[in-house]
């Protein structure tokens, strides 16, 4: 019980930017293992909250098949649809139907259901761990280049505490709640505190050590996004054909 209370206290102090919390993570015996534990615990708690929130939201919205049918009926009763049906005939109906089925198939995979959100219990901690490791490694590199004094374990331990604003996702217990940019911004602020404290950096150096990894990640994402978009564009006809044929 004492351990849980100490752990919760550490998370709360990290969340509210108390320098001694980051110092404690820096000086702990095995900062990497403790950091990993924090990230996993936060991830699992957030994922469990999302399961409840998504279930309530799913129960508070009409059935997707009913929405689909209502929109379909409404669209096919509109004047423009009937004019095009008369003017173009069967090819228009077939083209419309293909597009319609394809878009709803994509949409049905994007809308969370109680079952699909159960997967979050595994994927959310995993996503947080990967994000933490990539950011931590880059941040360590930049912090050391800027004169930082912490080792890799200390950097990862301190930046793990910066994951704590993710607990705001607990608001997701309630349906129809959107968090917006608050978590991302708060995490960035906590990372600044973590790197400043762990590496004993001045504010300016800590600022660059915080921001540069993020810029590198954005650039990489941009390049990867471009490659994926190019691949999708290249294979789109086969993909559409596959969906239409299945």
Partner 1 sequence: MTEILNAVRGAITLDIPALMRFRQSENVFRRGLTILVLVALIVGAVAFLVDFIGGLIRPPLATEMAEIQSGIEQWFQFMPEEGAAEFRQLFLPVLEDVLKIVGDVAALPTRLPRALTVFFQALGRWVNRPLAMLGGFLGYGIWVMLAAKLLGGRGRLPEFLGTAALSSVPYLLLVLERVPCLGGILSLVAWVWGTIIWVVATAVTHGWAVPQMTEEGAVTGYEVAWGKPILAVLLPALAVAVLVLIGGISLLLIILSAIQRAGG
Residues near partner 1 (CB under 8 A) = 16-18, 56-63, 66-67, 70-71, 74-75, 77-80, 168, 171, 174-182, 185-186, 188-189, 192-193, 203-204, 207
Q: Rank residues 121 and 171 by Cβ distance to partner 1 and give the closer one.
A: 171
Chain-centre distance for alpha carbon 82: 42
- DSSP three-state, residue 146: coil
Chain-centre distance for alpha carbon 120: 11
Q: Rank residues 4 and 59 by Cβ distance to partner 1 and give the closer one.
A: 59
Q: How far is the CB of 21 from partner 1 (least distance, A)?
A: 11
From the list 3, 51, 34, the residue with the least C-alpha distance to 157 is 34
Query: Residues with Cβ < 8 Å from 160, sequence gap 6 or more?
Result: 25, 31, 34, 35, 36, 38, 39, 132, 136
Q: How far is the CB of 235 from partner 1 (least distance, A)?
A: 29
Question: What is the residue whose two structure tokens read 């930082």?
Answer: 148
Whole-angstrom distance, CA of residue 195 vs CA of residue 136: 10
Q: How far is the CB of 126 from partner 1 (least distance, A)?
A: 25
Neighbours of 129 (CB within 10 A): 17
Question: What is the residue whose two structure tokens read 């564009």?
Answer: 233
Q: How far is the CB of 215 from partner 1 (least distance, A)?
A: 15
Q: How far is the CB of 162 from partner 1 (least distance, A)?
A: 13
Whole-angstrom distance, CA of residue 148 vs CA of residue 52: 42
Q: Rank residues 76 and 241 by Cβ distance to partner 1 and give the closer one.
A: 76
Q: Rank residues 40 and 171 by Cβ distance to partner 1 and give the closer one.
A: 171
Phi, psi of 86, rounded to the nearest 5 degrees: -70, -40
Whole-angstrom distance, CA of residue 48 vs CA of residue 54: 10
Q: Rank residues 62 and 237 by Cβ distance to partner 1 and give the closer one.
A: 62
Q: How far is the CB of 238 from partner 1 (least distance, A)?
A: 32
Q: Rank residues 1 and 176 by Cβ distance to partner 1 and give the closer one.
A: 176
Whole-angstrom distance, CA of residue 140 vs CA of residue 156: 8
């Amino acid at each position: 019980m004492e351990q849980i209370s100490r752990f919760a206290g550490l998370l709360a102090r990290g969340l509210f930017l108390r320098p001694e919390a980051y110092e404690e993570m820096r000086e702990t015996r095995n900062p990497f293992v403790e950091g990993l534990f924090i990230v996993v615990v936060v991830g699992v708690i957030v994922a469990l909250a999302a399961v409840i929130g998504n279930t309530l939201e799913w129960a508070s919205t009409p059935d997707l098949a009913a929405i689909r049918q209502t929109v379909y009926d409404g669209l096919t009763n509109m004047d423009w649809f009937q004019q095009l049906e008369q003017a173009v005939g069967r090819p228009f109906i077939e083209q419309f139907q293909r597009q319609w089925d394809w878009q709803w198939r994509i949409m049905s995979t994007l809308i969370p259901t109680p079952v699909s959100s159960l997967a979050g219990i595994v994927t959310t901690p995993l996503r947080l761990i990967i994000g933490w490791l990539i950011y931590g490694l880059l941040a360590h590199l930049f912090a050391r280049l800027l004169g930082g004094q912490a080792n890799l374990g200390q950097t990862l331990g301190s930046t793990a505490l910066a994951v704590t604003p993710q607990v705001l996702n607990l608001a997701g217990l309630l349906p129809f709640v959107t968090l917006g940019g608050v978590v991302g911004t708060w995490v960035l602020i906590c990372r600044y505190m973590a790197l400043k404290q762990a590496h004993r950096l001045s504010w300016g150096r800590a600022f660059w050590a915080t921001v540069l990894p993020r810029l590198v990640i954005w650039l990489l994402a941009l390049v990867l996004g471009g490659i994926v978009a190019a691949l999708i564009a290249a294979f789109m006809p086969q993909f559409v054909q596959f969906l239409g044929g299945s």
